[in-house]
Amino acid sequence: MGNSSSNTISINLERTNLLYFTGETVSGTVDLNITNEKLEADEIYIILTGEIGYTTTRTVTRNGRTSRRTQYHNVPFYSAKVIFAQPQPGEKELIFNHGQYSWPFQIPLTDDYLPPTMNKPQSYPHVRYYLQFVIDKPWYKSNTRENRYIMIYPRVNLLQNPQCLLSTIFGKQNRKEIILKGTLNKLGYVPGELIHILLEIENPRTVLIKHIDFSLFQSYQIGNNTRGNLIFHTTLPKILNLKDQQIRETFYLLIPSELIPPSYQFQGRSERLAFVNIHYFLRCEVKVEGMFTNFDVDIPITLGTEPNPNLNQQQTFNPLLVSYSLNPQQSMFNDDVSPPSYDSIVQNVK
């Protein structure tokens, strides 16, 4: 609800869930209650805007002292406008008398090429979408604006990318001749789905393997900013303080069913370049007795949005309990972090 000169504005959407997918329609009404005697305007409209926000730093020298300042950038990359009212031929301006007014609107979203909403609207970096109702007034008066934020995700259908359906082998060896070989059932998943992992370990010197951890990380770049989040972390319960020469175990890790932006790369150009790149990777960490004996492997995966038709059937498995990060949006690293290349560690099994 917005107020301007005692007038009230409300942007009402037809759905309570404010997540929209590309190809859907954002619809609702704008209600305006004019409590003044009259309202004069050149145009009344609503506009849906998508923009990225990021920061840069610059060095400033003043009076011999040097400091670094943060600059905030907002780059729009998408807009769709619906005009509610404008002067007819021969009219100079619109005049609305005291009373209540309501305008319905429908804004179809493009089928693709929209990056997913990232982070809170007022935090940096971010990808955000918002509806803005505007009363464009004569030049000598300030315009009236009212905003409402929504979430938009692109549709990422894993079935359209055969690479995501292939099983994958990963592995590594440490200085004590422990050989780790793992197999993922596939490379692409959706939130709420199970990751099927087969681990095979050769330990010819019977060195103590303390434990093995699995984590899922999100790595993203928005404009000039690179960040990362921990999605979940867990310790495998069946491999704890073992010295076995050969170990073979199967595990099922459950991806949280909460809203998680899909893997996506976007590059749009308006006045300035808008760049968004979102990746995910699993990290397998092996903790071994001794100095400089721990080792880890990163496995890039794709996170989609389209449900897996077999998702409901996988409840027959008993997945490991995973400990989620306390804040899913908490930044885990600020330096440039890129998922490993497929060629370096991943072999696709046909």
User: Of 158, 336, 122, nearest to 264 (Cα)?
Assistant: 158
Q: What is the pLDDT of residues 312-325, one digit of tens each?
A: 445 445 555 554 44
Structure tokens at 15: 């759905």
Strand segments, DSSP code E, in 255-340 are 264-269, 273-288, 295-303, 323-324, 331-333
Highest mean pLDDT among 32-41, 143-152, 337-346: 143-152
pLDDT value at 38 more than 90: no
* 119 three-class SS: coil
Residue 60 has a pLDDT of 82
Separation of CA 47 from chain center: 23
pLDDT value at 237 more than 50: yes
| Helix/strand/coil percentages in the chain, nearest 5 | 5, 60, 35
CA distances (Å), origin 303, targets 133, 151, 217: 34, 18, 11
pLDDT band for 305, please (50, 70, 90 cuts): very high
Cis peptide before 89 (omega within 30 of 0): no
Residue 263 has a pLDDT of 97
Cβ-contact 31, 12 below 8 angstroms: yes
Q: How far apart are CA 289 and CA 297, in angstroms?
A: 18
pLDDT value at 350 more than 80: no
Identical fold at 2-153 and 158-349?
A: yes
* CATH code reported for the domain at 158-349: 2.60.40.640
Cβ-contact 165, 304 below 8 angstroms: no
DSSP string, 201-232: EE-TT---EEEEEEEEEEEEEETTEEEEEEEE
Cross-strand bridge partners of residue 99: 34
Task: Tell me the percentage of the chain whose pLDDT exceeds 90.
Answer: 66
* 313 three-class SS: helix
Residue 88 has a pLDDT of 85
Stretch 99-124: mean pLDDT, rounded? 93
Residue 321 has a pLDDT of 53
Domain 2-153 falls under CATH 2.40.50.180:
no
Stretch 217-228: mean pLDDT, rounded? 95
- Residue 18, class by beta-carbon neighbours within 10 Å (0-12 exposed, 13-18 middle, 19+ buried)? middle
Residue 1 has a pLDDT of 52
Q: Torsion angle, CA of 176/182/187/193, rounded to 10 degrees? A: -120
Q: What is the pLDDT of residues 61-95, one digit of tens each?
A: 888 788 888 999 999 999 999 999 998 887 888 88
Listed in sequence order, the residues at least 6 apart from 273 whose beta carbon sits closer than 8 Å to its beta carbon are: 75, 267
Listed in sequence order, the residues at least 6 apart from 17 whose beta carbon sits closer than 8 Å to its beta carbon are: none
Domain boundaries, the chain: 2-153, 158-349
Q: What is the pLDDT of residues 126-137, one digit of tens each?
A: 999 999 999 998
Please give the radius of gyration of the chain, using alpha carbons only, rounded to the nearest integer. 26
The amino acid occupying position 93 is E
User: Of 256, 125, 282, nearest to 191 (Cα)?
Assistant: 256
Cβ-contact 249, 239 below 8 angstroms: yes
Cross-strand bridge partners of residue 281: 217, 300
pLDDT band for 2, please (50, 70, 90 cuts): low
Q: What is the pLDDT of residues 46-63, one digit of tens each?
A: 999 999 999 999 888 888
pLDDT value at 30 more than 50: yes
Report the first-to-last Cα separation within the chain, whole angstroms.
56
Residue 27 has a pLDDT of 96
Cross-strand bridge partners of residue 181: 171, 200
Helix (H) or strand (E) holding 50: strand 43-62
